[in-house]
Structure 1
Amino acid sequence: MSKFEIEVSLSSQAEMELNSAQSIYIPGCVRVFSDNTDLFCEHDQGTIRIKKLDLKSGYLLIQSIFDWYQDWLIQVDHAIISNDFEALAEACVKTFDNPVLIQDSNYRILGMSGHCDAEIPPEWYYILENGQSSVKGYEFMSKALHSSNMIYRQNVRRFQGKPGTLMLSGGLHATIAFRGRNFGKLTVLDSSRKLNRGDVCLFEYLSRRMAIYMATISGETQNYLDTEIIESLAMGKAVPKECVTYFQSLIQGSREGKFSVLVTNFSDPNRRGDWRTFQLIKNIISIN
C-alpha cells in the first residue's frame, strides 16, 4: 500500500480485533465506503482514508489484508502450541519486516531471526557471543529495555537504540506474562522498517496470545518452570530447588551458546541466605 496516499486517524487505544470488511456497520468489522474519489475504512476506533482508490478495488484490497492476517494467526498458533519458536520468529519477521528475538524468562534464546534472508543483526550476535543466559547477556538486554520511552498494554514497551553502543536499534519489547507469572520475552528491532502504531497493536495482540498459550502449556507439561532464575539469583532472591534442577536440564539440551552465572559481593558468607544462594549458584555452574 506504499503507493497510496493514506490518512490515518485512529484512537491510541485501538486494538487488533477486526475480522473483515463490510459495506455496513457490523461488530468486529470495518465499514468500507467511498466518498468521491477516496475510500474510507471506518470503525468506532477511528478511520483510515485512502485517496484516489475506487470502492471495488479498495474493498478487495482491505479484505485480502484481513485474509492474510487470519492465515498468519493460524501459523502463529501452531508454532506456539508445538513449541516451534524458530517458526514463530520467522512468522513474526514476515509481519514486522524486522529482526525478531524470542527468549524464555531467563533470556535463554528460544527463536531468533534477522530480516527475511538478511544476516542476524549485531545485537543478536552479541547475545550469542556473551551467553544466552549469562549475567552479561542479562545486563545487556535489561539496560537497553529499561530505557523505554513509551509503555503500552500487555507489558509492551518501546525502547530507543543508542548509536555507538551494543544496542544500535530501538524497537518493541514485551514480557510474556499471565496472572503475574512470566513465561518469556519477545523483542523486535526497529531497523529494517520503521515500526508504527499498527505494529504496536499487533505486538500487543501477539503478546497476549503467547501468554495465554504458554500459561496453558505450562499447566499441562511444566515446560516453563524456569521462571527468571538468573534474574532472581542476581538479585539475591531465594529460588526453589526444582526450578534450578529444571534450568540445569535446559542448559544441557539447549541450542549452542555460552551459559554462565556470575554473582559477587556476598555480604556475609556465614549468613544462611547468602550460603544458600552460593550453593544454588555452585550447582548451576557445576554442570557447565
Structure 2
Amino acid sequence: MSWLTKYVRPKIRGLLKRDVPDNLWTNCPSCHQMVLVKELRRTLNVCPHCGFHMKVPAAERFEWTFDAGSYTRIELPKVAADPLGFRDQKRYTDRLKDARAKSGLDESLVVAHGRITGYPAVVAIMAYEFMAGTMGTALGEAFVAAARLAILQRSPLVIFTASGGARMQEGILSLMQMPRTTVAVQMLKDAGLPYIVVLTDPTTGGVSASFAMLGDVQIAEPKALIGFAGPRVIEDTVREKLPEGFQRSEYLLEHGMLDMVVERKNLRETLGRVIGLLTAAPPGDVFTETLPDPEEPGSEETPLPVN
C-alpha cells in the first residue's frame, strides 16, 4: 500500500466529508425536481419549479389559515377503535397505533375555531398524513361535531379535503359516513350558515362523493386531483384515452364543478372575502347579529340565502 493510499486519501476524504441531514431535500411529486425543504417552507409547500401544491400537515394548514394566535382546537368524540375486528397483514388497531405515532394525531380529521381575516369561523382539516386521510366512523363523528359547533357559534364551516376515500378496515361503517356527513351539511344550510369547501390534492373516493362536493362555495388548489375513481381505473374501464388534465382543478373549473382555483398563498384572504360576502358581517362581528337563529320566533331579519 502506497503512502498516497494510506495517508493522503483518508485526509482528503476527511476534509471533503460533510454532515448532510437526511431531510435537507425532497422530491416534487409532479415535476420530480429536487427541492430544498427550507425553500418549501418559504413557499408554503409549493414547488418553486412547477407550482405544484404539495400535501400539508394539518398543524401547518391551521397556522396558514387562521389569523395569528386566534384559533383553538377542539376535542372530538371518541368512537370504537376497531368495530369489525379487522385484520389483513396486521391488525387494524396496530395500524391505528402506527398512524397516531407517526402523525401525532388521533384521527384523519382535525377541527378548530378561530378567526380568518377577522371573521369567526370553524375550520375542519383532513389530515392526509393519517392513513391517507381515509374516512371512517371517527371522521364522521368529527365532521358532525364541527357542524354542530358552527351552528352553536353561528359561524361558517370551512373544510379542507385531502383523502384517499373510505377506510376499508371499517367496511360498510365507513360508507355510512357519506349520508351522515351529508345530513350534517344540510343542518348548516337549514341554519342559514355558509359551508365552504377547499379541495386539495388528492380528494377522491367516498369523500368526493359526499361532503366534499356540497359546498356553497367550492374552492380548489391548483393542479389538485379531484374525482371518485383514479384516472387509470377510468381509462381501464372505458378503454379510452382521457383528456389532458382530466380530474385536475383547472379541468373541473372549466367544466363548472368549481367556483375558483386559488393559490395557497392567497387562500386565507380569499376565504375571508368569501365569508364576508356570504354573511354581510364586518370583520369581528358575531354572526348572530346578521344571521339570527331560524328557530327564534318573531325574528325580523331573514338569514341570507346560501345555495
Q: TM-score, normalised by structure 2?
A: 0.23
Higher normalized strand content (fraction of residues): 1
